[in-house]
Structure 1
Amino acid sequence: MLDTPAAQVPTLSLKDQDRDPDGFAAALGGSFERFGFAIVADHGVPQPLIDRAWAETAALFALPEEEKRAYHVPGGGGARGYTPFKTEIAKDARHVDLKEFWHVGRELPAGHRYAGEMAANVWPTRPEGFRDTFVEMFDAFDRAGDRLLSAIARHLGLAPDWFDPAVKDGNSVLRLLHYPPIPADAEGVRAGAHEDINLITLLLGAEEAGLELLDRDSGRWLAIKPPEGAMVVNVGDMLQRLTNHVLPSTTHRVVNPPPERRGHSRYSMPFFLHPAPDFLIETLPQTITADRPNRYPTPITANGYLHERLVEIGLIKK
């Protein structure tokens, strides 16, 4: 077994938001300020939908390599469809990640004003029902994310609906991740140390050991061990920038399993919640103080920031 000590990240219930919105917001914000992470149970994504999504994720990645690669979009930065094994690399890492993935984005109506920045989805012919399942799953994650952003807004002293216009038709991405079985002497790790680009990430599938965060207080790697069915939520770099690091984006990784588990696949399902492409990431005034001067005096659009980061991790070539 992995002997990494566990991070004491609290498990919160999203049901508490209805009963005590201020209390839930304080608990979520406190966990983010300490760890950059929170664990959220009762998140509202229906379990039958989750079960269906896991089954179809496994079936997708079990397709022949040639069939999967037909859904790869060269030059698309991995925005939609299939990204092959050993493509993505963490910023400043020496080895590529030991993973393959599929991206589902927001379904936009024809002629939408963001059509130029947000690519159309790529849908496989197999497994049957894939499109319906993941349109529904995207919407379920979207709703959960809106509720969490409302709590974050409360914690920051903003109106509970402050993020609503920022994320309306946002460029969020649902990633289906497959970490295939690996040999005992595999170079690299399943996902190198990195921070996420977006506002917040909502993750299902972290029950399988491997996800670790780098604790800022001790400098040690700590394992994240959510209860069955709970969602791991973490702050991304866009929210860190928006809040002048009041809410920190914490370095994390997915390490290789112990030898007895290396013959098994690992699946996970992160939802990277992004604002709309033209949202201006401008430091919130209330997060700027004499002791915490503005780290980012020059604002940047969400789309501009995303492009910078995709170049850094190798999904877009300069």
Structure 2
Amino acid sequence: MPQSAIPPVSFKRFTTDFAGFTRDLGDSFARYGFAVISDHPMDQPHIDRAIDKAKAFFALPEAVKKKYNVPGGNGQRGYIPFGVETAKGAEHYDLKEFWHVGRDLPPGHRFTPHMPPNLWPSEIEGFQSDLTWLFERLDAMGHQVMEAIACYLGLDRHLFDAAIADGNSILRLLHYPPSGFDGPNVRAGAHEDINAITLLLGAEEGGLEVKDRDGRWLPINPPPGSVVCNIGDMLQRATNHVLPSTSHRVVNPPPERRNVARYSTPFFLHFAPDYLIKTLPGTVTADRPDRYPTPITANDFLLERLREIKLA
């Protein structure tokens, strides 16, 4: 497997060399829209247990899985079957099925109209506890990455704390099955993410590629114990493209890997639904005029994009 085109940044430096971590992480985002973060603090055996629960769910009969599909739910919780999500502007749907876990809110919370309760499959023992653990760990790491991003932009380190504390974030459990891949569909068509940042576990199995400025597709094959992190459209908009949201895809495997399923767990860190996405201070210059003079709420932006990818 080829080495990742993007050099990793060690997460240990968040506590030992925050300034250097911020600089190297931010430079990677500014250059590629992506960063590879090595030495993440999450317990690998616990991650493996959570992914095993996802594998067990996807191995269930179709009729059982489809019990957890929510009609009219915009794909925000539970099971989303094959043949649904389609990259923006693409003709053919992606070759994947997935499960969504969101934030648990206390009764009466003001965001309950936008963030429905989670579904939990009764067929898989420990699914709820292990996936809740993974959601919480990735959410915590995402908060730290957002601190570094704020500092990289020359803004207050805790600028985003309130905006993401009750963010409409989603943990996606993804299954790309083995296939002959003789048709026009691919595992994930070229797309940009909707949210603020994405934290991805499971990219060690090849296929993830990011589009470079010159149009080349660069492989992202991180070392074990790494998280792949990328900028989403919401943060690209807020930073006036100082930090770009870059097209990426998951290509179909070579012949020798066609009998291997691919599993990954992206965590889409979102702002709170009522957060007003507006151009951040210091990101507008004479050479970089404001692309987005009209702000938009995170929820309105999300719904607009969900319709484009056929989840809403």
The two structures share one fold, judged by TM-score above 0.5? yes
Aligned partner (choices 56, 66, 71) of residue 69 of structure 1: 66
Shift of 1:7: 5.3
Which residue does 1:259 correspond to in 2?
A: 255
Count of aligned pairs between the two proteins? 312
Cα deviation code 1:36-87 (max 9, x no counterpart): 0000112212112101111111101001100000000011111000000121
Which residue does 2:19 correspond to in 1?
A: 22
Which residue does 1:236 correspond to in 2?
A: 232
Cα deviation code 1:160-216 (max 9, x no counterpart): 111100101110000000001111413211000000000000000000010000101
Which residue does 1:49 correspond to in 2?
A: 46
Which residue does 2:178 correspond to in 1?
A: 181
Cα distance in 2, alignment partners of residues 262 and 126 from structure 1: 29
Residue range with higher mean Cα deviation, 89-98 or 177-186: 177-186
Cα distance in 2, alignment partners of residues 312 and 158 from structure 1: 32
Q: For 1:146-185, what aligned pairs fall within 5 Å after superposition?
A: 146-185=143-182
Cα deviation code 1:105-164 (max 9, x no counterpart): 001111111000111101110210100111111110011101111100110011111110
Shift of 1:296: 0.2
Q: Give percent identity, aligned residues only.
A: 61
TM-score (norm 2): 0.98
| Contact 1:45–1:144 (CA under 8 A) maintained in structure 2 | no
Runs (4+) off by over 4 Å: none
Which residue does 2:32 correspond to in 1?
A: 35
Q: For 1:1-318, what aligned pairs fall within 5 Å after superposition?
A: 8-216=5-213, 218-316=214-312
| Contact 1:83–1:102 (CA under 8 A) maintained in structure 2 | yes
Cα distance in 2, alignment partners of residues 198 and 10 from structure 1: 24
Cα distance in 1, alignment partners of residues 237 and 3 from structure 2: 27
* CA RMSD, 1 decimal: 1.1
| Contact 2:200–2:264 (CA under 8 A) maintained in structure 1 | yes
Q: Secondary structure at the match of 2:98?
A: strand
| Contact 2:88–2:308 (CA under 8 A) maintained in structure 1 | yes
Unmatched 5+ stretches in structure 1: none
- The letter for the 1-side match of 2:12 is K
- The letter for the 2-side match of 1:312 is E
Q: Secondary structure at the match of 2:230?
A: strand
Cα distance in 1, alignment partners of residues 29 and 102 from structure 2: 26
- The letter for the 2-side match of 1:277 is P
Q: Secondary structure at the match of 1:286?
A: coil
Cα deviation code 1:218-272 (max 9, x no counterpart): 2111111100121000000000000000000000000000112112211000000
| Contact 1:68–1:82 (CA under 8 A) maintained in structure 2 | yes
| Contact 2:173–2:266 (CA under 8 A) maintained in structure 1 | yes
- The letter for the 2-side match of 1:69 is K
Cα distance in 2, alignment partners of residues 132 and 308 from structure 1: 32
Shift of 1:6: 5.7
- The letter for the 2-side match of 1:79 is Q
Cα deviation code 1:274-301 (max 9, x no counterpart): 0100000000120001110000000000
| Contact 1:200–1:235 (CA under 8 A) maintained in structure 2 | yes
Cα distance in 2, alignment partners of residues 223 and 20 from structure 1: 28
TM-score (norm 1): 0.96
Cα distance in 1, alignment partners of residues 181 and 51 from structure 2: 26
Q: Secondary structure at the match of 2:189?
A: strand
Cα distance in 2, alignment partners of residues 98 and 36 from structure 1: 24
Cα distance in 1, alignment partners of residues 181 and 29 from structure 2: 35
Cα distance in 2, alignment partners of residues 300 and 67 from structure 1: 39
| Contact 1:241–1:296 (CA under 8 A) maintained in structure 2 | yes
Cα distance in 1, alignment partners of residues 3 and 232 from structure 2: 21
